[in-house]
Structure 1
Amino acid sequence: MKNTNKILSGILAASIMFGTTSCGDDFLKENANHTTTDALLETGAGALAMAAGLYGNLRWHFGYEWAYAITLYGCDEFSMGSDETSLGWMDYNTAEMNPAGSSRRNHPSPADLWNELYFGIATCNLLLQKAPLIASEQDRNSALGEAYFLRGYNYYRLFCQYERCPLQLEPIDVSAGVPRNFKLSSGEDVLNQVIDDLQKAYDLLRTDDWRGAGTWTKYTAAHFLAKALLYRQSERCTWKSNYPAKTDLDRAIRLCDEVIDARGLEKDYNNLYSNWTGVDCNIEKSKEILMSALHNDASTTVGRYGNRTYNYFSSQYNTYSGGYVPRGQYIGDMEFQRCRPTEYTYAVFDNVNDSRMWKTFKTVYGICNNVATPDYVKAENAPTFGDQGVLFLLNKKDDTRFRKDEFGRAAIKHTFVNPETGKWVPNVAPVYAEGQYVMNTYGTSAANRSNMFCGINKTADGSRTGEKGDAHRDVTMARVGETYLVKAECQVRNGDDAGALATINLLRKRAEWKAGEDREYYVDGTIAFKSNSTASGNCAKGNKDANGAKLTNQQAFEYSFIQKNSYVLSTGVERPVESESWNASSLQISSWNNLPAEDQAVLNGMGLSVNTLEGKVNFILNERTRELLGEWNRWDELSRTKTLYKRAKLFNPETLYIQEHHNLRPIPQSFLDGLTNDNGEPLTDQEKKDMQNPGY
């Protein structure tokens, strides 16, 4: 907590000195008056404090709708619910997704990310200019290492999204006005600068978490340097033949090994996200975490951008549940239903043997409000407080146990009675019934905008003191689980297929159920509500008991948070008898020619053979879904491998207007409109068009 507060205080100091960007800020806008800043930077303590302020640039990524729109929309893993706030990023329609941005309220613009990344770069450039004056070598190296890292990371993100961008590597003197004559560097030059900056960060940063958990170390730099080297040998880099593949890939593999050996994996996948018990709890200190956007509950360190990610992954239970499950801070998520998993996402998991599915998806919400049971439900089947109010069954397509018409939401007559509890479930939906995908057919909105679905739990936060307040948990931005997959892909591209499979199997080993592990146990960050200061207050939505008395938040929490998932009912696997315990499962893959059925189905649908590089890379993309679902980098990875168009078209029916050129984002129109030519004159429309990415 102490280190986090120091860093977050540094963030506020940086915001005061450098300013913060907004949607309308000009490219590379800086504070012209650096007098106080310069003096501060010329002391070791001051430079380190300003370096701490660099971490604030990461918080921006998770403070608004762009968190998911830029990183997860328009891909294969998530569609959307009935809310169309970020529609253009999902369906790629030209009215919304264009260089000038959308007129739709709250719709993120292509300029938002561009402006914020350059704000961070400008801060890094100033620190890099002044940090060499620091007398202490350790302090100097630490400040330089953090500045090189963030600059390299920000240029990496610019490259991933736009490919070409200006390379500004020194502070800009704006005393004579803001310069307007910028050139776009080639993608090759930008990526090479990324590699150079990350290499310097790797050389300078410490190996220990000296600033605290989730901050930048040598291993953070190693992870991203390995990703950048892999990128240079990936499909989008048409110039990759300029660099020896074996040299890049061997180097990336060594970096991955260094990270894996030093940091390692958590033993239980639950300890990455689900076992979040409150601010600065143990799982935020996990050695597997390589980088986080830091947050806490101190009002003095909130700043402009809090953590709003808890809003985006849950279905709209407050709307469709018929009053059985009203929303509130006693439930760790908020039902803004921005990210609805696609059929591909549900189907790609082995629902029997892969614990990641059951530690990622939230399948049950309990009844926490009194609602009259419909007359057609038998009295002995009537549910009560704490029974299942919302239930999702994560079954397979060949499951023949269910009929489509026995499921539904509260307002629609349906007959489903849980055979284990004998209780009618007011809101219940399977992934499949009668051999058809039906998860998207039971909500109050159309199937292509269904607001009823089984969402994921990685952002749940029960520490919130208001249903719409900021979350307090850190946001993991990089971890060792991904390092394994970066290494495996490097091995595949290097011709070491056996080594790649061995690496993937090590990661899958963690995902296996352990002997004696309760496969029905469920937890998520909602559990942090146990120490919530608002527990004794009444529910904001007016939840009532059977006598009409108002429920407290604590009562609603106890009723709604059910720590038992739908594993047995979803899979049909028999629960062990009382004298026995669950067996261990296996996810080990014996050979590339014996892939899991889920992966073979994906490759068949794509018309690919696993004996090709493309087939193996797509298998690794499937494994990325299972390991990293919702972890803020899917669009970048599909763009890198040039699989975005194909996978989105096949697996996400809501990417209606996607075309091949959408593999890059548009250069922001606001940037182009502000440029001048060498004569100081505004660019002509043709000159702007020539600078724009193809297709826009």
Structure 2
Amino acid sequence: MKQHIKILIPVALGISVITACNKKLEEYNPSGATIESLFNTPEGFEAGVNGIYSHNRLLYGKEEGYSFMEAGTDIWTNAANNGGKTVNGINSTTPLTTYQGIVSDNNNLNNNLWIPCYQGINECNTALSKEETAKLTPDRQKTLDGEIHFLRAWYYWHLVETFGPIPTPTEPMTTFQTTASRTPVNEVYDLIFADLKTAMSELTEKATDYGRVTLPVVEAFYARLSLTRGNWQEASNYANKVITGYKYSLVGKYADLWDITKEKNSEVVWPLNYASTYTLNGGGANEGHMMFLMDYISLPGMKTDVANDLPGTRWMPTLFLLNLFNENDDARFAGSFKQTWIANNSATLPKWDSLDAVQNPALLPLVGKPKFNVGDTAVFCSKYPIDDFQQKYSTAYRYKTYDINDMYNVSTGVPKDRFHYISLTKFNDPTRASEKETNSARDVFMIRLAEMYMIAGEAQFRMGKLDSAATFINAVRKRAAKTGHEAAMTVQASDITLDFILDERAREFAGEQLRWFDLKRTNTLISRVQLHNPDASSYIQGYSVLRPIPLAQINAVTNKGEFLQNEGY
């Protein structure tokens, strides 16, 4: 395979840490030590490998990571406060949701994807070059070598799927390189699969610390990538091996997956663990608890508190996503979304007034009294229409309501209220120290067992084995069924289509930083955004299946005639 090793990337000199369930993977970085010298001792090598993991914290559980991996799809669109960071007058995350004005100087793509992934890759390459001099024990060297090869493959996958042909350095770099060439996608995947095969040959089921890569993690990722590349039988085989070959099992209740007190559970194949001491996280704390939450704090009877979490108002569900759920049978709707807020602020309780009594004389005895009290429902967002009179004046709906017609234009799907909407609350953190605390120590599930069932089901479908496909998918749907509704949630072989599989993945994995990759690999990104995301439908183009190479990288290379920008940017 032809190697392309010259690329502009900064060499990361600081080594971060990952934390274990009950202990910390210790950082070891003598004052002034470079990354090369750090890998020269057993202690330094261990700390250096720990640091390779840390780059995931700039992607997973981060606003920027959601903008790369969830936004710009069929299931999310911009809420009122999307963005937050503006560069040269251009909001840096909003364009990734709507495809309106995506530019190559998007700093998020550079600082939170391109650079961290290449820093991780360079650290992998450095570690591989130093294994023999670090004087590790043979068993420990073998394990760490497997982890390093996996992590290099992991970071290369994010880059090749996002940007297409990319540079593929396999040797460490100690200085900036100013020429670059782009390796074809097929060759990048050759490198990725070779790394994963090496990792499989060296790792076991056991991990020394929670969050480290193990053999089933590698096999699960191999299954994901085999599906991406159309290797259906391998995708099915490896996914089934993870399902049947280890002690993983689906959590009994879908909602329990998102109970932060139960986050270390039988379904998690590979977590990204965040420390409660936020300075140890390298890339900062988890921000997922804020990103999908509506602005409830400005409403009567409400104030910010720990239990309701801190609203970031970045992304709201498309009407299409809400309509995918039959909440009468499927527990995932209630397990994923919040519709009701309970009053917690006596100072702002609304009171019945004389105008209410004019509209509804039955309210006359209540004039001057609170419409509801602390502990009662204060806000309710409904998937269905509510009669206008009932909403405004009936004692049956004395609290604030937003029905589907308040939130969306139901004929077009365009949001009408981007502040108030049914909110994804999978990632909420009621263990934060205070109501204004933005940081969360919640783990991120980067791979969980349900994905293996869905991969095996899709692979079987692709091979024309619809009965087998239905069996795998029904395992996920059975867990999702409300008690007594299992039959209603069971699908038949004739129900299995690619659209059904993508709909089912949306119901199961909404918000879990998989959606953009799902649509891209199935060649449905353009069609499904045009059908189901009215904010983005008129802006997405054929070339939108790739993101622009960061302008900082284009400007820095000296061989600009060879290192070209992606089409359309």
TM-score normalised by length of structure 1:
0.71
Q: Determine whether 1:455 maps to 2:434.
A: no
Q: Determine whether 1:403 maps to 2:305.
A: no
Q: Determine whether 1:345 maps to 2:321.
A: yes
Secondary structure of the residue aligned to 1:329 is coil
Q: d(CA) in 2 for partners of 1:182 and 1:663?
A: 22
Distance 1:3 1:83, change over 3 A: closer
Q: d(CA) in 2 for partners of 1:506 and 1:136?
A: 43
Secondary structure of the residue aligned to 1:492 is helix
Q: Would the aligned equivalents of 1:382 and 1:424 in 2 still touch at CA under 8 Å?
A: yes
Partner of 1:523: none
Which of 426, 451, 454 is 1:485 aligned to?
A: 454
Which of 387, 391, 412 is 2:380 aligned to?
A: 391
Q: Report sequence identity in percent.
A: 25
Which of 221, 224, 227 is 1:227 aligned to?
A: 224
Q: Determine whether 1:128 maps to 2:135.
A: no
C-alpha displacement of 1:153: 0.5
Distance 1:456 1:416, change over 3 A: farther
Q: Determine whether 1:693 maps to 2:566.
A: yes
Letter matched to residue 56 of structure 1: S
Distance 1:482 1:622, change over 3 A: same
C-alpha displacement of 1:346: 0.7
Secondary structure of the residue aligned to 2:187 is helix
Partner of 1:296: 275
Secondary structure of the residue aligned to 2:103 is coil
User: For residues 239-638 of structure 1, what are the structure 2 equivalents within 5 Å?
Assistant: 248-261=231-244, 262=246, 263-273=248-258, 275-277=259-261, 283-298=262-277, 301-319=280-298, 321-322=299-300, 324-331=301-308, 333-370=309-346, 371-375=349-353, 376=356, 378=363, 379=366, 382-395=371-384, 402-404=386-388, 406-407=390-391, 414-415=392-393, 417-418=395-396, 424-425=398-399, 427-431=400-404, 437-440=405-408, 447-448=415-416, 450-466=418-434, 467-515=436-484, 586-592=488-494, 595=495, 616-638=497-519
Q: Determine whether 1:3 maps to 2:8.
A: no
Instruction: List per-residue Cα deviations over 1:538-564 (Å, max 9, x = no partner).
Output: xxxxxxxxxxxxxxxxxxxxxxxxxxx
C-alpha displacement of 1:46: 3.9
Partner of 2:151: 150
Q: d(CA) in 2 for partners of 1:173 and 1:155?
A: 20
Q: Would the aligned equivalents of 1:5 and 1:301 in 2 still touch at CA under 8 Å?
A: no
Instruction: List per-residue Cα deviations over 1:286-311 (Å, max 9, x = no partner).
Output: 12112222112135624441111111
Which of 188, 193, 196 is 2:194 aligned to?
A: 196
Q: d(CA) in 2 for partners of 1:63 and 1:268?
A: 23
Q: How many residues align?
A: 522
C-alpha displacement of 1:402: 3.3
Q: d(CA) in 1 for partners of 2:165 and 2:423?
A: 35
C-alpha displacement of 1:499: 0.9
Q: Would the aligned equivalents of 1:226 and 1:256 in 2 still touch at CA under 8 Å?
A: yes
**RMSD between aligned alpha carbons?**
2.5
Q: d(CA) in 2 for partners of 1:54 and 1:17?
A: 19
Secondary structure of the residue aligned to 1:222 is helix
Q: Would the aligned equivalents of 1:59 and 1:294 in 2 still touch at CA under 8 Å?
A: no
Which of 81, 90, 95 is 2:97 aligned to?
A: 90
Q: d(CA) in 1 for partners of 2:31 and 2:482?
A: 51
Q: Would the aligned equivalents of 2:57 and 2:281 in 1 still touch at CA under 8 Å?
A: no
Secondary structure of the residue aligned to 1:47 is helix
Letter matched to residue 428 of structure 1: T
Secondary structure of the residue aligned to 1:452 is coil
Distance 1:644 1:2, change over 3 A: closer
Q: Determine whether 1:100 maps to 2:105.
A: yes
Partner of 2:88: none
Distance 1:336 1:500, change over 3 A: same
Distance 1:366 1:34, change over 3 A: closer
C-alpha displacement of 1:641: 1.2
Distance 1:632 1:300, change over 3 A: closer
Letter matched to residue 166 of structure 2: C
Letter matched to residue 260 of structure 1: I
Letter matched to residue 285 of structure 1: K
C-alpha displacement of 1:138: 2.0
Q: d(CA) in 2 for partners of 1:304 and 1:159?
A: 22
Q: Would the aligned equivalents of 1:311 and 1:337 in 2 still touch at CA under 8 Å?
A: yes
Secondary structure of the residue aligned to 2:297 is helix
Letter matched to residue 211 of structure 1: D
| Structure 2 gap segments, 5+ residues each | 1-17, 84-92, 358-362
Q: d(CA) in 1 for partners of 2:212 and 2:324?
A: 33
Q: d(CA) in 2 for partners of 1:313 and 1:59?
A: 19
Q: d(CA) in 2 for partners of 1:620 and 1:88?
A: 28
Partner of 1:541: none
Letter matched to residue 667 of structure 1: I
Q: d(CA) in 1 for partners of 2:445 and 2:61?
A: 14
Q: Would the aligned equivalents of 1:513 and 1:585 in 2 still touch at CA under 8 Å?
A: no
Letter matched to residue 105 of structure 2: A
C-alpha displacement of 1:491: 1.0
Instruction: List per-residue Cα deviations over 1:608-644 (Å, max 9, x = no partner).
Output: xx7xxxxx22211100011101101111111111111
Secondary structure of the residue aligned to 1:317 is coil
More off after superposition, 376-385 vs 153-162: 376-385
Q: Would the aligned equivalents of 2:336 and 2:425 in 1 still touch at CA under 8 Å?
A: yes
Q: Determine whether 1:648 maps to 2:529.
A: yes
Q: d(CA) in 2 for partners of 1:292 and 1:215?
A: 8
Q: Would the aligned equivalents of 1:167 and 1:185 in 2 still touch at CA under 8 Å?
A: yes
Q: d(CA) in 2 for partners of 1:5 and 1:52?
A: 16
Secondary structure of the residue aligned to 1:157 is helix
Instruction: List per-residue Cα deviations over 1:241-293 (Å, max 9, x = no partner).
Output: xxxxxxx32222111111111122111112211x223xxxxx22212112222
Q: Would the aligned equivalents of 2:335 and 2:426 in 1 still touch at CA under 8 Å?
A: no
C-alpha displacement of 1:169: 0.9
Secondary structure of the residue aligned to 2:447 is strand
Partner of 1:556: none
Q: d(CA) in 2 for partners of 1:202 and 1:35?
A: 26
Letter matched to residue 193 of structure 1: L
C-alpha displacement of 1:693: 1.3
Q: Determine whether 1:662 maps to 2:553.
A: no
Q: d(CA) in 1 for partners of 2:37 and 2:170?
A: 22
Partner of 2:13: none
C-alpha displacement of 1:393: 2.5
Partner of 1:571: none
Q: d(CA) in 1 for partners of 2:297 and 2:264?
A: 34
Letter matched to residue 254 of structure 1: N
C-alpha displacement of 1:486: 1.0
Instruction: List per-residue Cα deviations over 1:165-197 (Å, max 9, x = no partner).
Output: 1001111142xxx22122100111112211111
Letter matched to residue 302 of structure 2: V
